[in-house]
Structure 1
Amino acid sequence: MLLAFDVGNSNIVLGVFKDGKLVTNWRIETDNNKSADEYGMIVTQLFQYEGLQASDVKDIIISTVVPSVLYTLQHLAMKYFKKRAITVESGVKTGLVVKYDNPKQVGADRIVNAVAAYQKYGGPLIIIDFGTATTFCAVTEKAEYLGGSIAPGLKIASEALFEKTSKLPKVELEEPGQTICKNTIQSMQSGLVYGHMGMVDYIVKKMKRELEAITESGKAVTVVATGGLSTLIDDGVDCIDHVDKMLTLEGLEIIYQKNKKPAKPCKEKKEPIQNE
Protein backbone atom coordinates (compact mmCIF):
# COMPACT_ATOMS: atom_id res chain seq x y z
CA MET A 1 0.00 0.00 0.00
CA LEU A 2 0.97 3.62 -0.54
CA LEU A 3 0.24 6.28 2.09
CA ALA A 4 -0.04 9.79 0.60
CA PHE A 5 -0.03 13.09 2.53
CA ASP A 6 -1.34 16.29 0.95
CA VAL A 7 -0.47 19.05 3.44
CA GLY A 8 -2.31 22.34 3.01
CA ASN A 9 -2.37 25.44 5.16
CA SER A 10 -5.69 24.48 6.76
CA ASN A 11 -5.94 20.70 6.38
CA ILE A 12 -3.92 17.58 5.77
CA VAL A 13 -5.59 15.07 3.45
CA LEU A 14 -4.33 11.51 3.75
CA GLY A 15 -5.02 8.74 1.28
CA VAL A 16 -4.22 5.04 1.13
CA PHE A 17 -3.71 3.41 -2.26
CA LYS A 18 -3.71 -0.29 -2.96
CA ASP A 19 -2.70 -1.52 -6.41
CA GLY A 20 -3.01 2.05 -7.71
CA LYS A 21 -6.57 2.57 -6.42
CA LEU A 22 -7.58 4.95 -3.63
CA VAL A 23 -9.19 2.77 -0.95
CA THR A 24 -9.75 5.36 1.78
CA ASN A 25 -8.96 8.95 2.70
CA TRP A 26 -9.18 11.28 5.70
CA ARG A 27 -8.96 15.00 6.41
CA ILE A 28 -7.33 16.35 9.59
CA GLU A 29 -6.37 19.84 10.72
CA THR A 30 -2.90 21.16 9.91
CA ASP A 31 -1.20 22.11 13.18
CA ASN A 32 2.39 23.39 13.17
CA ASN A 33 2.62 22.69 16.91
CA LYS A 34 1.84 18.97 16.72
CA SER A 35 4.77 16.60 17.13
CA ALA A 36 5.48 13.52 15.03
CA ASP A 37 4.13 11.39 17.88
CA GLU A 38 0.87 13.35 18.04
CA TYR A 39 0.34 13.01 14.30
CA GLY A 40 1.48 9.39 14.57
CA MET A 41 -1.22 8.59 17.11
CA ILE A 42 -3.88 10.20 14.91
CA VAL A 43 -2.78 8.24 11.84
CA THR A 44 -2.51 5.01 13.85
CA GLN A 45 -6.07 5.43 15.14
CA LEU A 46 -7.36 6.15 11.63
CA PHE A 47 -5.68 2.97 10.40
CA GLN A 48 -7.22 0.96 13.25
CA TYR A 49 -10.67 2.37 12.51
CA GLU A 50 -10.42 1.23 8.88
CA GLY A 51 -8.86 -2.13 9.79
CA LEU A 52 -5.57 -1.29 8.05
CA GLN A 53 -2.13 -2.46 9.13
CA ALA A 54 0.82 -0.06 9.23
CA SER A 55 3.07 -2.96 8.19
CA ASP A 56 1.23 -3.16 4.86
CA VAL A 57 2.39 0.35 3.88
CA LYS A 58 5.27 -0.11 1.44
CA ASP A 59 5.93 3.56 0.63
CA ILE A 60 4.94 7.08 1.71
CA ILE A 61 4.78 10.25 -0.39
CA ILE A 62 4.34 13.81 0.92
CA SER A 63 3.29 17.03 -0.80
CA THR A 64 3.30 20.11 1.42
CA VAL A 65 2.97 23.88 1.21
CA VAL A 66 3.81 24.11 4.94
CA PRO A 67 7.58 23.54 5.28
CA SER A 68 7.44 23.41 9.08
CA VAL A 69 5.25 20.28 8.94
CA LEU A 70 7.47 18.42 6.46
CA TYR A 71 10.13 17.33 8.95
CA THR A 72 7.42 16.23 11.38
CA LEU A 73 5.79 13.95 8.81
CA GLN A 74 9.15 12.62 7.61
CA HIS A 75 9.92 11.69 11.22
CA LEU A 76 6.47 10.10 11.53
CA ALA A 77 7.14 8.01 8.42
CA MET A 78 10.39 6.68 9.85
CA LYS A 79 9.12 6.02 13.38
CA TYR A 80 5.66 4.60 12.72
CA PHE A 81 6.07 3.02 9.26
CA LYS A 82 9.83 2.42 9.02
CA LYS A 83 9.84 4.18 5.64
CA ARG A 84 11.77 7.09 4.16
CA ALA A 85 9.09 9.28 2.56
CA ILE A 86 9.29 10.59 -0.99
CA THR A 87 8.82 14.37 -0.98
CA VAL A 88 7.41 16.31 -3.93
CA GLU A 89 10.12 18.90 -4.50
CA SER A 90 12.54 20.13 -7.13
CA GLY A 91 14.15 17.18 -8.92
CA VAL A 92 11.20 14.80 -8.58
CA LYS A 93 9.94 13.37 -11.88
CA THR A 94 6.48 14.71 -12.78
CA GLY A 95 6.19 14.42 -16.55
CA LEU A 96 5.61 18.19 -16.82
CA VAL A 97 7.88 20.90 -18.18
CA VAL A 98 7.64 23.75 -15.68
CA LYS A 99 7.81 27.13 -17.43
CA TYR A 100 7.59 29.22 -14.25
CA ASP A 101 10.30 31.90 -13.93
CA ASN A 102 11.56 30.11 -10.83
CA PRO A 103 10.21 26.54 -10.72
CA LYS A 104 11.18 26.22 -7.05
CA GLN A 105 8.55 28.84 -6.19
CA VAL A 106 5.63 26.78 -7.49
CA GLY A 107 3.61 25.20 -4.69
CA ALA A 108 3.91 21.42 -4.64
CA ASP A 109 0.12 21.07 -4.55
CA ARG A 110 -0.21 23.02 -7.82
CA ILE A 111 2.24 20.72 -9.59
CA VAL A 112 0.60 17.59 -8.17
CA ASN A 113 -2.84 18.77 -9.32
CA ALA A 114 -1.48 19.55 -12.78
CA VAL A 115 0.10 16.08 -13.07
CA ALA A 116 -3.16 14.33 -12.22
CA ALA A 117 -5.37 16.58 -14.35
CA TYR A 118 -3.12 16.25 -17.40
CA GLN A 119 -3.03 12.46 -17.16
CA LYS A 120 -6.81 12.19 -16.68
CA TYR A 121 -8.09 14.90 -19.03
CA GLY A 122 -5.19 15.90 -21.29
CA GLY A 123 -4.28 19.44 -22.25
CA PRO A 124 -4.75 22.30 -22.68
CA LEU A 125 -6.37 22.69 -19.31
CA ILE A 126 -6.97 24.99 -16.36
CA ILE A 127 -6.95 23.60 -12.83
CA ILE A 128 -8.70 25.51 -10.04
CA ASP A 129 -7.99 24.50 -6.44
CA PHE A 130 -10.41 25.92 -3.89
CA GLY A 131 -8.29 25.70 -0.75
CA THR A 132 -7.03 28.25 1.77
CA ALA A 133 -6.05 30.17 -1.36
CA THR A 134 -7.88 29.75 -4.65
CA THR A 135 -5.29 28.90 -7.29
CA PHE A 136 -5.62 28.80 -11.07
CA CYS A 137 -3.05 26.84 -13.09
CA ALA A 138 -2.61 26.55 -16.85
CA VAL A 139 -1.13 23.52 -18.65
CA THR A 140 -0.62 23.31 -22.40
CA GLU A 141 -1.42 20.38 -24.67
CA LYS A 142 2.34 19.61 -24.64
CA ALA A 143 2.38 19.09 -20.85
CA GLU A 144 3.95 22.48 -20.15
CA TYR A 145 3.05 24.01 -16.79
CA LEU A 146 2.83 27.74 -17.52
CA GLY A 147 1.75 29.20 -14.17
CA GLY A 148 -1.48 30.95 -13.27
CA SER A 149 -3.15 33.12 -10.65
CA ILE A 150 -3.48 33.03 -6.86
CA ALA A 151 -6.37 34.67 -5.00
CA PRO A 152 -7.58 34.65 -1.38
CA GLY A 153 -9.78 31.65 -0.71
CA LEU A 154 -13.36 31.91 0.46
CA LYS A 155 -12.48 31.04 4.06
CA ILE A 156 -9.72 33.68 4.19
CA ALA A 157 -12.10 36.31 2.84
CA SER A 158 -14.77 35.33 5.34
CA GLU A 159 -12.36 35.41 8.29
CA ALA A 160 -10.97 38.79 7.18
CA LEU A 161 -14.46 40.30 7.20
CA PHE A 162 -15.05 38.98 10.71
CA GLU A 163 -11.65 39.96 12.12
CA LYS A 164 -11.28 43.38 10.50
CA THR A 165 -14.76 44.74 11.19
CA SER A 166 -16.49 45.59 14.46
CA LYS A 167 -20.00 44.30 13.84
CA LEU A 168 -19.85 41.67 11.10
CA PRO A 169 -20.28 38.09 12.41
CA LYS A 170 -18.83 34.77 11.27
CA VAL A 171 -21.04 33.15 8.65
CA GLU A 172 -21.49 29.76 7.03
CA LEU A 173 -20.23 29.64 3.47
CA GLU A 174 -23.40 28.87 1.54
CA GLU A 175 -25.53 30.45 -1.16
CA PRO A 176 -28.20 32.81 0.22
CA GLY A 177 -30.28 32.51 -2.96
CA GLN A 178 -30.30 36.21 -3.82
CA THR A 179 -28.01 39.21 -4.03
CA ILE A 180 -30.50 41.77 -2.67
CA CYS A 181 -30.42 40.51 0.91
CA LYS A 182 -32.33 41.93 3.88
CA ASN A 183 -30.10 40.80 6.74
CA THR A 184 -26.38 41.00 7.49
CA ILE A 185 -25.63 37.27 7.40
CA GLN A 186 -27.17 36.72 3.98
CA SER A 187 -25.61 39.94 2.69
CA MET A 188 -22.17 38.63 3.67
CA GLN A 189 -22.88 35.20 2.16
CA SER A 190 -23.97 36.87 -1.06
CA GLY A 191 -20.86 39.01 -1.32
CA LEU A 192 -18.51 36.18 -0.42
CA VAL A 193 -19.96 33.34 -2.48
CA TYR A 194 -21.27 35.22 -5.52
CA GLY A 195 -18.23 37.47 -5.52
CA HIS A 196 -15.99 34.40 -5.64
CA MET A 197 -18.06 32.92 -8.46
CA GLY A 198 -17.68 36.13 -10.44
CA MET A 199 -13.92 36.12 -9.89
CA VAL A 200 -13.69 32.50 -11.06
CA ASP A 201 -15.72 33.21 -14.19
CA TYR A 202 -13.59 36.22 -15.14
CA ILE A 203 -10.17 34.63 -14.50
CA VAL A 204 -11.09 31.42 -16.33
CA LYS A 205 -12.42 33.40 -19.28
CA LYS A 206 -9.20 35.42 -19.52
CA MET A 207 -6.92 32.38 -19.02
CA LYS A 208 -8.81 30.49 -21.72
CA ARG A 209 -8.15 33.26 -24.23
CA GLU A 210 -4.43 33.22 -23.38
CA LEU A 211 -4.22 29.42 -23.62
CA GLU A 212 -6.18 29.25 -26.87
CA ALA A 213 -3.79 31.76 -28.43
CA ILE A 214 -0.88 29.33 -28.03
CA THR A 215 -2.75 26.04 -28.68
CA GLU A 216 -1.73 25.03 -32.19
CA SER A 217 -4.19 22.16 -32.52
CA GLY A 218 -7.20 24.33 -31.72
CA LYS A 219 -8.29 21.89 -29.04
CA ALA A 220 -10.73 23.28 -26.47
CA VAL A 221 -9.47 24.10 -22.99
CA THR A 222 -10.72 21.79 -20.22
CA VAL A 223 -11.38 23.29 -16.78
CA VAL A 224 -11.01 21.05 -13.72
CA ALA A 225 -11.86 22.09 -10.16
CA THR A 226 -10.76 20.50 -6.91
CA GLY A 227 -10.71 21.38 -3.21
CA GLY A 228 -13.28 21.40 -0.45
CA LEU A 229 -15.39 24.30 -1.78
CA SER A 230 -15.29 23.29 -5.45
CA THR A 231 -18.85 21.93 -5.45
CA LEU A 232 -20.25 25.13 -3.94
CA ILE A 233 -18.67 27.32 -6.62
CA ASP A 234 -19.42 24.88 -9.45
CA ASP A 235 -23.14 25.18 -8.70
CA GLY A 236 -23.07 28.85 -9.69
CA VAL A 237 -20.73 28.97 -12.70
CA ASP A 238 -20.72 27.46 -16.18
CA CYS A 239 -16.97 27.48 -16.81
CA ILE A 240 -16.03 24.31 -14.86
CA ASP A 241 -16.09 21.04 -16.83
CA HIS A 242 -15.12 18.59 -14.09
CA VAL A 243 -15.13 18.62 -10.28
CA ASP A 244 -12.51 16.16 -9.03
CA LYS A 245 -12.04 16.35 -5.25
CA MET A 246 -9.45 13.55 -5.08
CA LEU A 247 -7.25 15.13 -7.76
CA THR A 248 -4.30 15.92 -5.47
CA LEU A 249 -4.16 12.46 -3.90
CA GLU A 250 -4.35 10.85 -7.33
CA GLY A 251 -1.54 13.13 -8.51
CA LEU A 252 0.60 11.94 -5.61
CA GLU A 253 0.06 8.33 -6.63
CA ILE A 254 1.02 9.15 -10.23
CA ILE A 255 4.20 10.94 -9.11
CA TYR A 256 5.03 8.03 -6.82
CA GLN A 257 4.82 5.61 -9.75
CA LYS A 258 7.25 7.82 -11.69
CA ASN A 259 9.76 7.98 -8.83
CA LYS A 260 9.57 4.70 -6.95
CA LYS A 261 12.69 2.63 -6.86
CA PRO A 262 12.45 -0.61 -8.82
CA ALA A 263 12.41 -3.74 -6.74
CA LYS A 264 15.74 -5.47 -6.57
CA PRO A 265 15.68 -8.85 -8.31
CA CYS A 266 16.12 -11.80 -5.98
CA LYS A 267 19.40 -13.62 -6.43
CA GLU A 268 19.05 -17.21 -7.46
CA LYS A 269 20.23 -19.64 -4.85
CA LYS A 270 22.93 -21.93 -6.13
CA GLU A 271 22.44 -25.57 -5.31
CA PRO A 272 25.39 -27.02 -3.42
CA ILE A 273 27.56 -29.36 -5.50
CA GLN A 274 27.11 -32.93 -4.39
CA ASN A 275 30.29 -34.94 -4.19
CA GLU A 276 29.75 -38.42 -5.49
Structure 2
Amino acid sequence: MKLVIDAGNTNIVFAVHDGTAWRGIWRIATDAQRTSDEYGVWLGFLLERNGIANGDLRMAIIGTVVPAALYHLRRLCRDWFGIEPLVASAALDWGFTIDVDNPNEVGADRLLNALAAHQTYGGPLIVVDFGTATTFDVVDQSGAYIGGAIAPGINLSVEALHQAAARLPRIGIGRPQRVIGTSTIPAMRSGIYWGYVGLVEGLITRIEAEYGRPMKTIATGGLAPLIAEGSSRIERTDPDLTLEGLRLLSLRNPAPPLRNREPDND
Protein backbone atom coordinates (compact mmCIF):
# COMPACT_ATOMS: atom_id res chain seq x y z
CA MET A 1 0.00 0.00 0.00
CA LYS A 2 1.06 3.59 -0.62
CA LEU A 3 0.89 6.56 1.75
CA VAL A 4 0.14 9.81 -0.09
CA ILE A 5 0.56 13.17 1.69
CA ASP A 6 -0.59 16.49 0.20
CA ALA A 7 0.53 19.35 2.45
CA GLY A 8 -1.19 22.62 1.59
CA ASN A 9 -1.25 26.00 3.29
CA THR A 10 -4.57 25.30 5.04
CA ASN A 11 -4.83 21.51 5.36
CA ILE A 12 -2.66 18.42 5.07
CA VAL A 13 -4.37 15.47 3.39
CA PHE A 14 -3.21 11.93 4.15
CA ALA A 15 -4.44 9.08 1.97
CA VAL A 16 -3.71 5.39 1.44
CA HIS A 17 -3.99 3.66 -1.94
CA ASP A 18 -3.93 -0.12 -2.18
CA GLY A 19 -3.07 -0.27 -5.89
CA THR A 20 -6.71 -0.39 -6.93
CA ALA A 21 -8.58 2.20 -4.90
CA TRP A 22 -8.22 4.74 -2.11
CA ARG A 23 -8.61 2.99 1.23
CA GLY A 24 -8.95 6.21 3.20
CA ILE A 25 -8.54 9.97 2.90
CA TRP A 26 -8.09 12.13 6.03
CA ARG A 27 -7.45 15.84 6.64
CA ILE A 28 -5.79 17.79 9.41
CA ALA A 29 -5.14 21.54 9.74
CA THR A 30 -1.67 22.56 8.60
CA ASP A 31 0.63 23.43 11.51
CA ALA A 32 4.34 23.61 10.75
CA GLN A 33 5.10 23.07 14.46
CA ARG A 34 3.23 19.77 14.70
CA THR A 35 5.75 16.98 15.31
CA SER A 36 6.14 13.66 13.56
CA ASP A 37 4.99 11.88 16.73
CA GLU A 38 1.77 13.91 16.82
CA TYR A 39 1.11 13.00 13.19
CA GLY A 40 2.00 9.39 13.93
CA VAL A 41 -0.45 8.96 16.83
CA TRP A 42 -3.27 10.65 14.92
CA LEU A 43 -2.66 8.80 11.64
CA GLY A 44 -2.00 5.47 13.34
CA PHE A 45 -5.44 5.59 14.97
CA LEU A 46 -7.12 6.28 11.61
CA LEU A 47 -5.18 3.53 9.86
CA GLU A 48 -6.14 1.03 12.56
CA ARG A 49 -9.81 1.99 12.29
CA ASN A 50 -9.63 1.21 8.57
CA GLY A 51 -7.89 -2.13 9.02
CA ILE A 52 -4.47 -0.93 7.85
CA ALA A 53 -1.33 -1.85 9.80
CA ASN A 54 1.77 0.37 9.76
CA GLY A 55 3.70 -2.44 8.09
CA ASP A 56 1.22 -2.55 5.20
CA LEU A 57 2.60 0.74 3.89
CA ARG A 58 5.42 0.08 1.40
CA MET A 59 5.94 3.50 -0.18
CA ALA A 60 5.22 7.13 0.65
CA ILE A 61 5.13 10.30 -1.40
CA ILE A 62 4.83 13.89 -0.20
CA GLY A 63 3.77 16.96 -2.12
CA THR A 64 4.01 20.22 -0.21
CA VAL A 65 3.87 23.98 -0.67
CA VAL A 66 4.81 24.44 3.00
CA PRO A 67 8.59 23.83 3.30
CA ALA A 68 8.49 24.18 7.10
CA ALA A 69 6.17 21.16 7.37
CA LEU A 70 8.37 18.87 5.30
CA TYR A 71 10.87 17.93 8.03
CA HIS A 72 8.25 16.46 10.37
CA LEU A 73 6.39 14.72 7.54
CA ARG A 74 9.63 13.06 6.47
CA ARG A 75 10.31 12.00 10.05
CA LEU A 76 6.79 10.57 10.23
CA CYS A 77 7.46 8.33 7.23
CA ARG A 78 10.90 7.27 8.45
CA ASP A 79 10.27 6.74 12.14
CA TRP A 80 6.71 5.41 12.12
CA PHE A 81 6.61 3.44 8.88
CA GLY A 82 10.27 2.74 8.05
CA ILE A 83 9.89 4.39 4.65
CA GLU A 84 11.94 7.10 2.95
CA PRO A 85 9.34 9.29 1.24
CA LEU A 86 9.58 10.47 -2.32
CA VAL A 87 9.15 14.27 -2.36
CA ALA A 88 7.51 15.89 -5.39
CA SER A 89 9.80 18.40 -7.11
CA ALA A 90 10.56 19.61 -10.60
CA ALA A 91 13.69 17.39 -10.60
CA LEU A 92 11.62 14.17 -10.77
CA ASP A 93 10.40 12.39 -13.90
CA TRP A 94 6.97 13.88 -14.57
CA GLY A 95 6.47 12.44 -18.03
CA PHE A 96 5.90 15.89 -19.51
CA THR A 97 7.78 19.10 -20.22
CA ILE A 98 7.63 21.92 -17.66
CA ASP A 99 7.78 24.73 -20.20
CA VAL A 100 8.17 27.80 -17.97
CA ASP A 101 11.05 30.19 -17.21
CA ASN A 102 12.02 28.51 -13.92
CA PRO A 103 10.46 25.08 -13.28
CA ASN A 104 11.72 25.08 -9.68
CA GLU A 105 9.42 28.03 -8.89
CA VAL A 106 6.26 26.12 -9.79
CA GLY A 107 4.41 24.78 -6.75
CA ALA A 108 4.31 21.01 -6.57
CA ASP A 109 0.50 21.07 -6.27
CA ARG A 110 0.21 22.81 -9.65
CA LEU A 111 2.36 20.22 -11.42
CA LEU A 112 0.52 17.39 -9.69
CA ASN A 113 -2.84 18.78 -10.81
CA ALA A 114 -1.53 19.09 -14.35
CA LEU A 115 -0.27 15.50 -14.35
CA ALA A 116 -3.51 14.01 -13.04
CA ALA A 117 -5.81 16.17 -15.14
CA HIS A 118 -4.08 15.40 -18.45
CA GLN A 119 -3.84 11.70 -17.62
CA THR A 120 -7.54 11.58 -16.79
CA TYR A 121 -9.15 14.08 -19.16
CA GLY A 122 -6.66 14.68 -21.98
CA GLY A 123 -5.76 18.14 -23.25
CA PRO A 124 -5.47 20.95 -23.85
CA LEU A 125 -6.97 21.98 -20.53
CA ILE A 126 -7.06 24.47 -17.68
CA VAL A 127 -7.02 23.32 -14.06
CA VAL A 128 -8.55 25.75 -11.57
CA ASP A 129 -7.61 24.97 -7.95
CA PHE A 130 -9.63 26.78 -5.27
CA GLY A 131 -7.21 26.72 -2.35
CA THR A 132 -5.56 29.37 -0.21
CA ALA A 133 -4.75 30.88 -3.59
CA THR A 134 -6.91 30.34 -6.67
CA THR A 135 -4.58 28.98 -9.34
CA PHE A 136 -5.12 28.48 -13.06
CA ASP A 137 -2.76 25.98 -14.68
CA VAL A 138 -2.51 25.43 -18.41
CA VAL A 139 -1.64 22.10 -20.02
CA ASP A 140 -1.23 21.76 -23.78
CA GLN A 141 -2.37 18.93 -26.04
CA SER A 142 0.78 16.87 -25.42
CA GLY A 143 0.55 17.24 -21.64
CA ALA A 144 3.25 19.91 -21.27
CA TYR A 145 2.79 22.38 -18.43
CA ILE A 146 3.01 25.85 -19.98
CA GLY A 147 2.18 28.21 -17.09
CA GLY A 148 -0.90 29.84 -15.66
CA ALA A 149 -2.20 32.52 -13.32
CA ILE A 150 -2.48 32.98 -9.55
CA ALA A 151 -5.19 35.00 -7.77
CA PRO A 152 -6.01 35.42 -4.06
CA GLY A 153 -8.16 32.63 -2.69
CA ILE A 154 -11.79 33.24 -1.85
CA ASN A 155 -11.42 32.80 1.91
CA LEU A 156 -8.32 35.00 1.87
CA SER A 157 -10.28 37.76 0.16
CA VAL A 158 -13.19 37.46 2.60
CA GLU A 159 -10.82 37.76 5.56
CA ALA A 160 -8.95 40.71 4.00
CA LEU A 161 -12.25 42.53 3.41
CA HIS A 162 -13.27 42.03 7.03
CA GLN A 163 -9.88 43.08 8.40
CA ALA A 164 -9.50 46.17 6.22
CA ALA A 165 -13.03 47.57 6.57
CA ALA A 166 -14.09 48.11 10.17
CA ARG A 167 -17.83 48.00 9.49
CA LEU A 168 -17.84 44.93 7.26
CA PRO A 169 -18.42 41.64 9.11
CA ARG A 170 -16.79 38.30 8.47
CA ILE A 171 -19.19 36.29 6.29
CA GLY A 172 -19.67 32.74 5.12
CA ILE A 173 -19.41 31.89 1.44
CA GLY A 174 -22.50 30.72 -0.40
CA ARG A 175 -24.34 31.17 -3.67
CA PRO A 176 -26.78 34.07 -3.32
CA GLN A 177 -30.02 33.94 -5.26
CA ARG A 178 -29.79 37.62 -6.20
CA VAL A 179 -26.87 39.65 -7.51
CA ILE A 180 -28.24 42.94 -6.14
CA GLY A 181 -27.97 42.82 -2.36
CA THR A 182 -30.43 44.98 -0.42
CA SER A 183 -28.32 45.10 2.77
CA THR A 184 -24.65 44.80 3.68
CA ILE A 185 -24.29 41.05 4.18
CA PRO A 186 -26.20 40.01 1.01
CA ALA A 187 -24.22 42.62 -0.94
CA MET A 188 -20.94 41.18 0.38
CA ARG A 189 -22.01 37.62 -0.40
CA SER A 190 -22.98 38.65 -3.92
CA GLY A 191 -19.72 40.47 -4.50
CA ILE A 192 -17.60 37.59 -3.22
CA TYR A 193 -19.47 34.79 -4.98
CA TRP A 194 -20.39 36.36 -8.29
CA GLY A 195 -17.16 38.35 -8.30
CA TYR A 196 -15.17 35.11 -8.15
CA VAL A 197 -17.34 33.48 -10.79
CA GLY A 198 -16.59 36.49 -12.99
CA LEU A 199 -12.87 36.25 -12.21
CA VAL A 200 -12.81 32.55 -13.07
CA GLU A 201 -14.78 32.93 -16.28
CA GLY A 202 -12.81 35.99 -17.35
CA LEU A 203 -9.43 34.31 -16.89
CA ILE A 204 -10.58 31.12 -18.62
CA THR A 205 -11.78 33.16 -21.60
CA ARG A 206 -8.51 35.12 -21.80
CA ILE A 207 -6.36 31.99 -21.45
CA GLU A 208 -8.28 30.29 -24.26
CA ALA A 209 -7.97 33.37 -26.47
CA GLU A 210 -4.21 33.51 -25.88
CA TYR A 211 -3.80 29.77 -26.44
CA GLY A 212 -5.82 29.97 -29.63
CA ARG A 213 -8.26 27.09 -29.26
CA PRO A 214 -10.98 25.80 -26.91
CA MET A 215 -9.80 24.06 -23.73
CA LYS A 216 -11.38 21.78 -21.15
CA THR A 217 -11.68 23.26 -17.67
CA ILE A 218 -11.33 21.06 -14.58
CA ALA A 219 -11.77 22.45 -11.06
CA THR A 220 -10.47 21.09 -7.77
CA GLY A 221 -10.23 22.30 -4.17
CA GLY A 222 -12.82 22.59 -1.42
CA LEU A 223 -14.87 25.38 -3.00
CA ALA A 224 -14.79 23.98 -6.54
CA PRO A 225 -18.33 22.50 -6.45
CA LEU A 226 -19.80 25.74 -5.10
CA ILE A 227 -18.21 27.94 -7.77
CA ALA A 228 -18.98 25.40 -10.49
CA GLU A 229 -22.70 25.76 -9.64
CA GLY A 230 -22.60 29.35 -10.87
CA SER A 231 -20.29 28.95 -13.85
CA SER A 232 -20.91 27.39 -17.24
CA ARG A 233 -17.17 27.39 -17.97
CA ILE A 234 -16.23 24.69 -15.43
CA GLU A 235 -16.90 21.35 -17.09
CA ARG A 236 -16.01 19.01 -14.25
CA THR A 237 -14.92 19.05 -10.60
CA ASP A 238 -12.43 16.53 -9.23
CA PRO A 239 -11.81 16.77 -5.48
CA ASP A 240 -8.95 14.23 -5.41
CA LEU A 241 -6.95 15.58 -8.35
CA THR A 242 -3.80 16.43 -6.37
CA LEU A 243 -3.80 13.07 -4.58
CA GLU A 244 -4.15 11.29 -7.91
CA GLY A 245 -1.24 13.35 -9.25
CA LEU A 246 0.92 12.18 -6.34
CA ARG A 247 -0.06 8.57 -6.96
CA LEU A 248 0.77 8.84 -10.67
CA LEU A 249 4.08 10.55 -9.94
CA SER A 250 5.06 7.75 -7.56
CA LEU A 251 4.50 5.23 -10.36
CA ARG A 252 7.06 7.04 -12.55
CA ASN A 253 9.80 7.40 -9.92
CA PRO A 254 11.52 4.80 -7.74
CA ALA A 255 11.23 4.90 -3.98
CA PRO A 256 14.40 6.35 -2.43
CA PRO A 257 16.43 4.27 0.05
CA LEU A 258 15.77 4.83 3.76
CA ARG A 259 18.11 7.46 5.17
CA ASN A 260 19.81 7.51 8.57
CA ARG A 261 17.13 8.10 11.21
CA GLU A 262 19.24 10.44 13.27
CA PRO A 263 18.20 14.12 13.32
CA ASP A 264 18.97 16.01 10.12
CA ASN A 265 18.45 19.50 8.75
CA ASP A 266 16.00 18.72 5.92
Alignment of 1:1-276 (within 5 A): 1-212=1-212, 220-261=214-255
Measure how far apart 1:261 and its partner are: 4.7
CA contact (8 A) 1:124 1:211 kept: no
Matches of 2:217 and 2:155, distance apart in 1: 22
Q: Unpaired segments of 5 or more residues in structure 1?
A: 214-219, 263-276
Corresponding residue for 1:270?
none
Q: For residues 185-239 of structure 1, give each alpha carbon's deviation from its aligned partner in whole angstroms, at most 9, with x where no partner exists.
A: 22211111110000000000111122235xxxxxx41111100000010000011
TM-score, reference length from structure 2? 0.93
The DSSP-based 3-state class of the residue aligned with 2:233 is coil
Matches of 1:205 and 1:90, distance apart in 2: 28
Cα distance change, pair 44–261 in 1 and its aligned pair in 2 (3 A)? closer
TM-score, reference length from structure 1? 0.90
CA contact (8 A) 2:90 2:108 kept: no
The DSSP-based 3-state class of the residue aligned with 2:72 is helix
CA contact (8 A) 1:138 1:211 kept: no
Measure how far apart 1:135 and its partner are: 0.2
Q: Unpaired segments of 5 or more residues in structure 2?
A: 257-266
The DSSP-based 3-state class of the residue aligned with 1:97 is coil
One-letter identity of the residue aligned with 1:258: R
CA contact (8 A) 1:228 1:245 kept: yes
Q: For residues 107-165 of structure 1, give each alpha carbon's deviation from its aligned partner in whole angstroms, at most 9, with x where no partner exists.
A: 00000000000100111111000000000010111121110000001010011111122
Matches of 2:205 and 2:90, distance apart in 1: 31
CA contact (8 A) 2:86 2:255 kept: no
Q: CA RMSD in A?
A: 1.3
The DSSP-based 3-state class of the residue aligned with 1:28 is strand
CA contact (8 A) 1:212 1:221 kept: no
The DSSP-based 3-state class of the residue aligned with 1:98 is coil
CA contact (8 A) 2:85 2:255 kept: no
Aligned length: 256
CA contact (8 A) 1:60 1:83 kept: yes
Measure how far apart 1:183 and its partner are: 2.5
Measure how far apart 1:51 and its partner are: 2.5
Matches of 1:212 and 1:115, distance apart in 2: 22
One-letter identity of the residue aligned with 1:230: A
Q: Percent identity?
A: 40
Measure how far apart 1:21 and its partner are: 2.0
* Rg comparison, structure with higher value: 1
Matches of 1:174 and 1:52, distance apart in 2: 37
CA contact (8 A) 1:130 1:226 kept: yes
